[in-house]
Copies of this chain bind each other. A is one copy, B any other.
Amino acid sequence: MSEDCEIHAANRSGVGVGGDRVRWHAADLRDPSSAQALVAVVRPTHVLHLAWEATPRVYNQSPENFRWLHASIAMALTFGELGGHRFLGVGSSGEYDANGAPCAEDVTPIRPSSIYGKCKAACWLGVTAAAQYHRFSAAWGRVFLPYGPGDPAGRLVPSVMMALQEGRPVEVTHGKQLRDFIYAPDAAHLLVKLLFSLETGAFNIGTGHATTIRSVIEYLASRHGGRSELRFGAIDPPPGEPPVLVADMTKTTETLGSLALTSATDGLDRLLAPRRSAPTGANPTLGSSE
Contacts and interface: CB of A to CB of B under 8 A. Distances in A.
Interface of A: 61, 63, 65-66, 69-70, 73-74, 77, 109-110, 112, 114-115, 118-119, 121-123, 125-126, 128-130, 132-133
Chief secondary structure at chain A's binding surface: helix
Contacts of A130: 66
Contact of A125 (B61, B121, B129): B121
Nearest to A125: B122
Nearest to A70: B70
A119 B115 contact: no
A128 B120 CA distance: 13
A112 B65 CA distance: 23
Contacts of A77: 63, 66
A207 B257 CA distance: 47
A133 B121 contact: no
A239 to B, nearest CB: 12
Contacts of A119: 125-126, 129
